[in-house]
C-alpha cells in the first residue's frame, strides 16, 4: 500500500497495530506501508510520543515484571524499537476500551463510517479523532503457547514436576522447577498462567523455549488452595479485601453474545450463576478485581446492563458522561 502523507501513514500503522488479525512488528509494518525500516521506526516513535498511547504500549517481547510501572516498561520497549533492537517483536495496545476516557476512538464497519460521515460531517476535522475499521475476531493464542499448555497438562496428568527457563525484567532469566496444579487464563487479558503447588503464578508467554517434564513426582499432595483463588477476576494479587457481589442483565439479541459469556465464565462455576428471567438473562458472581471485571464488561457494550454494585454503576455513568462531552465539543 502506497501512502504519501506522514499522518496518514501513522494512522494506517495504528489501525494495523490494533487489528487482531495482524501481527504488527517493525518489519511487517515496513512491508505493509512500503517504507524503509528506519522510516518505520521514526513513525512508530512519533505515534507513541502521545502519552495516552504510550501508556498502553506492550509486546510479546519479555521486558517487564508484573509489578513494574507499565509506563516505564512501555518506554523501555519503545527505546528498543526505535534503536532497532527488536524489529520482529509484536507490538500491541492493551485495554483499548479505556481510551474513550480521553480520546474518541470509534471501532466501526464501512456502513457505519458512511452513516457517521453523513450525520457528523465535522467529526474528522478535529485533530484528535479518526476512524478505524475493526472486525470481530477471537483472540488468537500463539501456537508455541498452546504447545507449552499441552506439555503442562501432560505433566499434571502424569503427576510429574516440570522445569523451564523464565525471564523477567527485574531478575533476568532463571530456571524454575515446580509442580504444576493447573493452567489459568486471565479472562480480561487472555494471558495464560501456570499455577504451582506453592500458589506461584508464571506467565506462559514469559517461558523461554520448551518446558521439560521431569521424572520427579509432583508434590500435589501437599497443595493447599488459596481460599480467595476462586474469586479473582483477572490477575491475582496479595493485597485484597473481600469479594464484591456483581449482577448484570444480558440483552440476548443474538445467541453469540450469550455463548461468548458462557465461554468467558466457564471456569467460574463455583462462584457464579447464569439464569433467565423473562426475556433477559442475568449473570451473578462474587469477584475480586473489579477493574478487570469492568474492562471485560466494556467489550460487550450496550448488550450488558450493570445491576449491582451501585459504585460500579456510578463509575460507568461518569465515564459515559465524559465520553458524551467530547461529542458535544466536536459538534
Report residue 139's pLDDT band, with 50, 70 and 90 as the boundaries.
Answer: very low
Residue 304: per-residue pLDDT? 87
What are the φ and ψ backbone dihedral angles of 214, each rounded to 5 degrees?
-90, 165
**Count of CB atoms within 10 A of residue 258's CB?**
18
- The pairing of beta strand 192-196 with beta strand 201-203: antiparallel
What are the φ and ψ backbone dihedral angles of 307, each rounded to 5 degrees?
-100, -40
Give per-residue pLDDT as tens, 24-37: 899 999 998 888 99
Instruction: Please check whether the domain covering 244-330 is classified as CATH 3.30.70.
Output: yes
Residue 49: per-residue pLDDT? 78
Residue 309: asked if its preceding bond is cis (omega within 30°), the reply is yes
Residue 190: per-residue pLDDT? 67
| Closest by CA position to 58, among listed 75, 41, 38 | 75
**Count of CB atoms within 10 A of residue 309's CB?**
14
> CA-CA distance, 122 to 149, in Å (whole number)?
50
- The pairing of beta strand 129-133 with beta strand 104-108: parallel
Report residue 100's pLDDT band, with 50, 70 and 90 as the boundaries.
Answer: very low
Cβ neighbours of residue 238 closer than 8 Å, sequence gap 6 or more: none
| Closest by CA position to 219, among listed 162, 176, 182, 179 | 179
Cβ neighbours of residue 49 closer than 8 Å, sequence gap 6 or more: none
Residue 1: per-residue pLDDT? 46
Give per-residue pLDDT as tens, 39-81: 999 888 888 877 767 777 877 665 545 445 667 778 888 888 8
Mean pLDDT of 303-322: 84
- Answer yes or no: are the C-beta atoms of 250 and 259 closer than 8 Å: no
- Kind plus residue range of the DSSP H or E element containing 10: helix 6-17
Comparing 286 with 134, the larger pLDDT belongs to 286
- Answer yes or no: are the C-beta atoms of 287 and 233 closer than 8 Å: yes
Comparing 167 with 120, the larger pLDDT belongs to 167
Q: What is the DSSP letter of 289?
A: -
Residue 104: per-residue pLDDT? 43
Report residue 113's pLDDT band, with 50, 70 and 90 as the boundaries.
Answer: low
Name the 3-class secondary structure at 252: coil
Give per-residue pLDDT as tens, 227-266: 888 888 876 666 678 999 999 999 866 667 888 888 788 7
- Answer yes or no: are the C-beta atoms of 90 and 22 closer than 8 Å: no
Q: Read out DSSP for 114-175?
A: HHHHHH-TTGGGSTTEEEEE----PPPPPHHHHHHHHHHHHHHHTTEEEEEEEEETTTEEEE
Residue 58: per-residue pLDDT? 77
We find that the CATH architecture of domain 143-225 is Roll (2.30)
- Mean pLDDT is highest, among 49-53, 76-80, 140-144, 271-275, for 271-275
Residue 37: per-residue pLDDT? 92
Residue 135: per-residue pLDDT? 36
Cα 311-315-319 angle, rounded to 5 deg: 170
Report residue 5's pLDDT band, with 50, 70 and 90 as the boundaries.
Answer: low
For residue 237 the three cell numbers come to: 494479587
pTM of structure: 0.48
Radius of gyration of the chain (CA): 22
Report residue 103's pLDDT band, with 50, 70 and 90 as the boundaries.
Answer: very low
Amino acid at each position: 500500500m502506497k501512502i504519501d502523507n506522514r499522518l496518514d501513514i501513522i494512522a494506517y500503522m495504528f489501525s494495523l497495530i490494533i487489528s487482531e488479525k495482524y501481527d504488527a512488528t517493525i518489519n511487517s509494518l515496513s512491508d505493509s506501508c512500503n517504507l524503509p525500516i528506519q522510516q518505520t521506526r521514526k513513525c512508530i516513535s512519533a505515534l507513541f510520543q502521545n502519552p495516552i498511547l504510550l501508556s498502553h504500549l506492550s509486546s510479546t517481547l519479555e521486558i517487564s515484571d508484573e509489578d513494574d510501572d507499565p509506563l516505564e516498561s512501555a518506554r523501555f520497549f519503545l527505546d528498543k524499537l526505535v534503536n532497532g533492537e527488536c524489529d520482529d517483536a509484536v507490538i500491541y495496545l492493551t485495554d483499548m476500551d479505556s481510551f474513550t476516557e480521553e480520546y474518541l476512538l470509534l471501532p466501526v464497519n464501512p456502513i457505519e463510517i458512511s452513516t457517521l460521515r453523513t450525520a457528523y460531517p465535522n467529526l474528522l476535522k478535529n485533530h484528535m479523532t479518526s476512524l478505524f475499521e475493526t472486525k470481530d475476531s477471537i483472540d488468537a493464542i500463539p501456537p508455541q503457547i498452546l504447545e507449552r499448555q499441552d506439555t503442562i497438562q501432560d505433566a499434571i496428568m502424569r503427576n510429574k514436576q516440570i522445569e523451564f527457563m523464565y525471564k523477567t525484567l527485574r531478575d533476568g532469566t532463571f530456571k524454575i522447577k515446580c509442580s504444576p496444579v493447573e493452567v489459568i487464563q486471565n479472562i480480561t487479558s487472555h494471558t495464560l498462567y501456570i499455577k504451582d503447588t506453592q500458589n506461584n503464578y508464571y506467565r506462559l508467554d514469559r517461558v523461554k523455549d520448551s518446558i521439560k517434564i521431569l521424572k520427579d513426582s509432583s508434590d500435589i499432595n501437599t497443595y493447599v488452595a488459596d481460599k480467595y483463588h476462586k474469586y479473582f477476576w483477572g490477575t491475582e494479587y496479595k493485597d485484597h479485601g473481600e469479594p464484591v457481589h456483581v449482577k448484570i442483565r444480558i440483552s440476548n439479541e443474538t445467541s453469540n453474545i450469550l455463548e461468548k459469556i458462557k465461554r468467558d465464565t466457564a471456569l467460574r462455576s463455583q462462584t457464579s450463576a447464569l439464569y433467565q428471567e423473562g426475556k433477559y438473562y442475568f449473570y451473578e458472581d462474587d469477584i475480586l478485581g473489579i477493574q478487570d471485571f469492568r474492562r471485560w464488561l466494556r467489550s460487550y457494550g450496550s448488550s450488558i446492563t450493570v445491576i449491582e454494585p451501585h459504585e460500579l454503576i456510578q463509575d460507568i455513568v461518569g465515564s459515559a458522561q465524559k465520553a458524551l462531552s467530547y461529542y458535544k465539543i466536536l459538534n
